[in-house]
């Protein structure tokens, strides 16, 4: 139903696993392609919707979140997903990421984090480690990396998770949980870029990632903060934080009650009452 | 951003009464990208700012162009560059607005001339944006945004909401929907997501094929550029020629645009009463540029005078480019203070009529 397309990704790229998990998740949730919309930015990650049969708004670099937000507010019956890279999300789109979390519109955000700009051939992204040499930062990156999960938590996100392209089974479950979560749900997905990130390889991640234990309490905020900062020798994957929060729509009766905005009929004559203020 | 803030403030004031949600977003880039998302999802969408905020939106204008997503944008000018004179007036963004957006795609620019014009043209802008699937930009300025005037009540029965949406009937049984179907007019049937079971709608800021998928094909690229530009041929047929104030075939023809309509109306009336053969052609629709009425009047006029609220005579340049007509004289003002009828009168007397 979600079909197969020829891709322009490099053989061995982590994006293949993410795409496969996404299709599995949508299939398992029993969604029809016409009910799902993916908004994406620009980059290798952002090409994802072209390889799956769903409604797609493939907009500008850095701008996956604003259209996703508006699509959900305009038609609350659609399942809305934002799909973007680490550069897309935390660099060019950093402002929208921060304020998207604050707004808490019911969208799932899947961030393919390869810790590099893949599409543009290997410049550092905001998640590239300090000191790492790249195709542009010949002497190594000078700035500190963004810690996405920690940032999301401190902005008030109610659903924060980390996945790994090398653990498809877990990733599918995380995606389903994020889509089902009522509010903004982000998954930072570790995605090896075999062509331009020679540090964070499949092997590198495999040696470090571990699934959060079953008895991990995803409702404990201070523990979540600690877990979100865990990086280096051991990297946790799974749902790091998951608590209910009122969504944007929940807080606005006009949006919450009645049909989706797209299904409402408008009559210009209704606006005539506004003229009375002036008479 | 001042002086466009009153748009948001007014809607916020009316939100409970009219069922409006006002959300102040992080920046103008978010604003236009949200508006485009909303339009894609199937509701009518508009955003607005002043020059600085509009500058941030410009990549989004281009996105509207290639994705063929209808959108209305209000640009309420103030004197620039940069922060300029935040609370004063100018008409210096005309060229910027007309050329806003990298790449080549059709757009429409309407300069509103007075409150009534603003009302009817805004409604028209939405219909045109949806008919041609293009960005339509309404241009105003601080003066027009902030003044009060006694006018006749607006006629709401003149307003219609024309959506031009497809219901899926154009798609054959086993066919997949083509968002960018090549047609004679260049306009493709527009479907909204979720409206037809089994059909999905791809829009893409990359060059795309008829389905909306990324392409590198030279042939498809050429076809898509032609498709988008072709829409402008039809758009030109919708243009409203500029309004002529004063004498029917004046010897002295003033050319101007936008909010100068008010002060010019008063001044021209006074000069006509003095027996002077003078008229002012005030442009509302300004891109694509309507040339018919101007060309006809210019051929009979003895003197053509450009009068604007900027330093570089932007309308004069546009007229030379689009109508191959040169103005004989330019009256310009760019001190941030609106042209008053007296000032127009005195400068016309001093620099045009009595020389
Ligand atoms: C405004 C703008 N700036 C820069 C670019 C060029 N650009 C395209 S993708 C990209 C970064 C890609 O990195 P990332 O978002 O991490 O995606 P990846 O390719 O790694 O999946 C850049 C800088 C652009 N398209 N638009
Ligand atoms: S450059 Fe990297 S991210 Fe892009 S397709 Fe190749 S491996 Fe994947
Ligand atoms: Mg990347």
> What confidence tens digit (pLDDT) does each residue in B40-81 have?
999 999 999 999 999 999 999 999 999 999 999 999 999 999
Nearest protein CA to atom 3 of ligand 1, as residue: A61
Let me know: does B13 contact B7? Beta carbons within 8 Å.
no
In 3-state terms chain B splits into helix, strand, coil percentages (rounded to 5) of 40, 15, 45
Distance of alpha carbon B144 from alpha carbon B142, whole angstroms: 6
- The answer to whether residues B142 and B278 belong to one domain is no
What are the backbone dihedrals phi and psi of residue B254, each rounded to the nearest 5 degrees, phi first?
A: -90, 135
Domain with B64, as residue range(s), is 5-158
What is the least distance, in Å, from the CA of B200 to any CA of chain A? 5
| Residue A43 Cα to ligand 1 middle (Å) | 5
Question: Which one of B165, B200, B205 makes the best mutation probe of the A interface by having the most chain A beta carbons within 10 Å?
Answer: B200
Whether B274 maps to a domain, the answer reads yes
Is the Cβ pair B20, A254 closer than 8 Å?
yes
- Which spans in B206-260 are helix H? 218-236
Over residues B136-147, mean pLDDT: 97
The answer on pLDDT for B170 being more than 90 is no
- The answer to whether residues B9 and B126 belong to one domain is yes
Cβ of A195 closer than 6 Å to ligand 2, yes or no, is: yes
pLDDT tens, A83-139? 999 999 999 999 999 999 999 999 999 999 999 999 999 999 999 999 999 999 999
Give the number of the ligand closest to the Cα of residue B29.
Answer: 1
Distance of alpha carbon A127 from alpha carbon A117, whole angstroms: 10
Question: Which one of B10, B19, B41 makes the best mutation probe of the A interface by having the most chain A beta carbons within 10 Å?
Answer: B41
What does the pLDDT profile of chain A (279 residues) look like in tens digits? 889 999 999 999 999 999 999 999 999 999 999 999 999 999 999 999 999 999 999 999 999 999 999 999 999 999 999 999 999 999 999 999 999 999 999 999 999 999 999 999 999 999 999 999 999 999 999 999 999 999 999 999 999 999 999 999 999 999 999 999 999 999 999 999 999 999 999 999 999 999 999 999 999 999 999 999 999 999 999 999 999 999 999 999 999 999 999 999 989 999 999 998 888
- The answer to whether residues B28 and B150 belong to one domain is yes
Residue whose tokens read 């006509």: B272
Mean pLDDT of chain B: 96
| Residue A271 Cα to ligand 3 middle (Å) | 47
Let me know: does B83 contact B119? Beta carbons within 8 Å.
no
Label residue B354 by pLDDT band (50, 70, 90). confident
- The answer to whether residues B18 and B142 belong to one domain is yes
Measure CA of the first residue to CA of the last residue in chain B; give whole Å. 43
Size of the A and B interface in Cβ pairs below 8 Å: 153
Q: Chain B residues with CB inside 8 Å of A255's CB?
A: 21
- The answer to whether residues B119 and B247 belong to one domain is no
The answer on pLDDT for B355 being more than 90 is no
**Which residues contact ligand 1 via a Cβ below 6 A?**
A 42-45, 61, 85-88, 92, 112, 114, 116-120, 125
Whole-number pLDDT of residue B4: 85
Question: Tokens in use for B311?
Answer: 């330093």
Relative to the CA of A196, which ligand 1 atom is closest?
20
Whole-number pLDDT of residue B230: 98
User: Residue B84's closest CA among B328, B354, B311, B323?
Assistant: B311
ipTM of the complex as predicted? 0.97
Which helix (H) or strand (E) segment holds residue A21: the answer is: helix A15-28
CB neighbours of B1 closer than 8 A, spacing ≥ 6? B28, B49, B50, B52, B53
User: Residue B260's closest CA among B250, B272, B268, B251?
Assistant: B268
- The answer to whether residues B152 and B295 belong to one domain is no
User: Residue A135's closest CA among A193, A91, A93?
Assistant: A193
Whole-number pLDDT of residue B173: 82
Sign of the dihedral defined by the CA atoms of residues B76, B81, B86, B89, in that order:
negative
Sign of the dihedral defined by the CA atoms of residues A69, A72, A75, A76, in that order:
negative
Whole-number pLDDT of residue A58: 98
Nearest protein CA to atom 16 of ligand 1, as residue: A87
The answer on pLDDT for B108 being more than 90 is yes
Cβ of A7 closer than 6 Å to ligand 2, yes or no, is: no
Label residue B2 by pLDDT band (50, 70, 90). confident
Q: What one-character DSSP code corresponds to residue A212? A: P
Cis peptide before B81 (omega within 30 of 0): yes
- The answer to whether residues B105 and B247 belong to one domain is no
Domain boundary among B126, B158, B190: B158
Label residue B22 by pLDDT band (50, 70, 90). confident
Domain boundary among B134, B158, B182: B158
Q: What one-character DSSP code corresponds to residue B237? A: T
Whole-number pLDDT of residue B93: 98
Cβ of A45 closer than 6 Å to ligand 2, yes or no, is: no
- The answer to whether residues B148 and B23 belong to one domain is yes
- Listing DSSP states for A80-91 in one string gives EEEEEEHIIIII
Residue A185: CA count within 13 A, CB half-sphere: 26
| Residue A115 Cα to ligand 3 middle (Å) | 5
Class of domain A15-247 (CATH, top level): alpha beta
Q: Chain A residues with CB inside 8 Å of B197's CB?
A: 32, 34
User: Residue A72's closest CA among A244, A242, A243, A249?
Assistant: A249
SS3 A209: strand
The answer on pLDDT for B3 being more than 90 is no
Relative to the CA of A89, which ligand 1 atom is closest?
15
What CATH number is associated with residue B99?
3.40.50.970
pLDDT tens, B241-275? 999 999 999 999 999 999 999 999 999 999 999 99
Residue B173: CA count within 13 A, CB half-sphere: 0
Say what percent of chain B tops pLDDT 90.
Answer: 92
Whether B164 maps to a domain, the answer reads no
SS3 B314: helix
* Domain count along chain B: 2
What CATH number is associated with residue B280?
3.40.50.920
Q: Chain A residues with CB inside 8 Å of B199's CB?
A: 34
The answer on pLDDT for B16 being more than 90 is no
Nearest protein CA to atom 9 of ligand 1, as residue: A43
Relative to the CA of A112, which ligand 1 atom is closest?
21
Domain boundaries, given as residue ranges, for chain A: 15-247
Nearest protein CA to atom 4 of ligand 2, as residue: A118
Q: Chain B residues with CB inside 8 Å of A269's CB?
A: 156-157
Let me know: does B121 contact B154? Beta carbons within 8 Å.
no
Whole-number pLDDT of residue B1: 85
Distance of alpha carbon B287 from alpha carbon B272, whole angstroms: 30
Sign of the dihedral defined by the CA atoms of residues A69, A70, A71, A76, in that order:
positive
CB neighbours of A215 closer than 8 A, spacing ≥ 6? none
Question: Tokens in use for B43?
Answer: 């509701």
User: Residue B339's closest CA among B234, B268, B233, B239?
Assistant: B268
Pocket perturbation via mutation, ligand 1, pick of A8, A49, A62, A87 by most ligand atoms within 8 A of CB:
A87
The answer on pLDDT for B19 being more than 90 is no
What are the backbone dihedrals phi and psi of residue B194, each rounded to the nearest 5 degrees, phi first?
A: 85, -5
The answer on pLDDT for B98 being more than 90 is yes
| Residue A35 Cα to ligand 2 middle (Å) | 29
- Listing DSSP states for A150-187 in one string gives HHHHHTT-SEEEEEETT-HHHHHHHHHHHHHSSS-EEE
Is the Cβ pair B21, A254 closer than 8 Å?
yes
Which helix (H) or strand (E) segment holds residue A15: the answer is: helix A15-28
Whole-number pLDDT of residue B163: 97
Domain boundary among B158, B183, B208: B158
């Amino acid at each position: 139903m979600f079909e197969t397309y020829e891709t322009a990704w490099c053989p061995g790229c982590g994006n293949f696993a993410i795409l496969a998990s996404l299709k599995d998740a949508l299939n398992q949730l029993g969604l029809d392609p016409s009910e799902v919309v993916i908004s994406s930015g620009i980059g290798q990650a952002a090409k994802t919707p072209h390889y799956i049969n769903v409604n797609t708004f493939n907009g500008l670099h850095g701008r996956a979140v604003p259209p996703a937000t508006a699509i959900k507010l305009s038609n609350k019956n659609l399942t809305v997903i934002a799909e973007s890279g680490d550069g897309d999300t935390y660099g060019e789109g950093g402002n929208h990421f921060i304020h998207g979390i604050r707004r808490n519109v019911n969208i799932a955000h899947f961030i393919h984090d390869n810790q590099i700009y893949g599409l543009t051939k290997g410049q550092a992204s905001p998640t590239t480690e300090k000191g790492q040499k790249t195709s542009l930062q010949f002497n190594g990156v000078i700035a500190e990396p963004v810690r996405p999960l920690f940032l999301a938590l401190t902005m008030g996100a109610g659903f924060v998770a980390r996945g790994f392209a090398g653990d498809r089974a877990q990733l599918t479950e995380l995606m389903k949980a994020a889509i089902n979560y009522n509010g903004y749900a982000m998954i930072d997905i570790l995605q090896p870029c075999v062509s331009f990130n020679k540090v964070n390889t499949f092997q590198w991640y495999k040696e470090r990632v571990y699934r959060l234990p079953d008895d991990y309490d995803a409702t404990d905020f201070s523990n979540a903060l600690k877990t979100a900062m865990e990086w280096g020798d051991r990297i946790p994957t799974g749902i790091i934080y998951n608590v209910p929060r009122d969504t944007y729509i929940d807080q606005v009766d006009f949006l919450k009650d009645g049909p989706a905005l797209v299904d409402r009929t408008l009559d210009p004559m209704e606006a005539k009452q506004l003229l009375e203020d002036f008479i | 951003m001042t002086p466009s803030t009153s748009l948001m403030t007014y809607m916020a004031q009316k939100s409970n009464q009219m069922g409006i949600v006002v959300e102040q977003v992080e920046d103008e880039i978010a604003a236009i990208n949200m508006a485009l998302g909303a339009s894609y999802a199937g509701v009518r969408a508009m955003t607005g700012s002043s020059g600085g905020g509009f500058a941030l939106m410009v990549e989004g204008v281009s996105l509207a162009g290639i994705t063929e997503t209808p959108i209305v944008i209000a640009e309420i000018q103030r004197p620039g560059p940069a922060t300029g004179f935040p609370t004063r007036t100018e008409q210096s963004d005309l060229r910027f607005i007309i050329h806003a957006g990298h790449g080549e795609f059709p757009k429409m620019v309407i300069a509103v001339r007075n409150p009534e014009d603003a009302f009817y043209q805004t409604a028209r802008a939405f219909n045109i944006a949806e008919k041609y699937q293009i960005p339509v930009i309404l241009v105003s300025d601080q003066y027009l945004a902030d003044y009060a005037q006694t006018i006749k009540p607006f006629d709401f029965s003149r307003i219609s909401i024309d959506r031009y949406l497809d219901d899926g009937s154009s798609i054959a049984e086993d066919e997949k929907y083509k968002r960018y179907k090549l047609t004679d007019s260049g306009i493709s049937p527009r479907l909204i997501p979720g409206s037809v079971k089994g059909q999905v709608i791809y829009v893409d800021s990359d060059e795309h094929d008829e389905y909306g998928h990324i392409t590198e094909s030279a042939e498809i690229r050429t076809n898509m550029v032609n498709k988008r530009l072709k829409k402008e041929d039809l758009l030109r047929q919708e243009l409203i020629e500029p309004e002529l104030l004063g004498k029917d075939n004046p010897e002295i023809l003033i050319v101007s645009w936008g909010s100068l309509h008010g002060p010019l109306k008063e001044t021209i009336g006074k000069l006509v009463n003095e027996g002077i053969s003078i008229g002012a052609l005030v442009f509302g629709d300004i891109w694509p540029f309507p040339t018919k009425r101007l060309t006809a009047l210019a051929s009979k006029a003895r003197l053509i005078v450009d009068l604007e609220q900027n330093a570089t005579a932007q309308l004069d340049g546009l007229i030379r480019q689009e109508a191959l007509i040169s103005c004989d004289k330019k009256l310009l003002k760019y001190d941030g203070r609106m042209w008053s009828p007296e000032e127009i009168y005195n400068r016309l007397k001093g620099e045009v009529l009595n020389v």
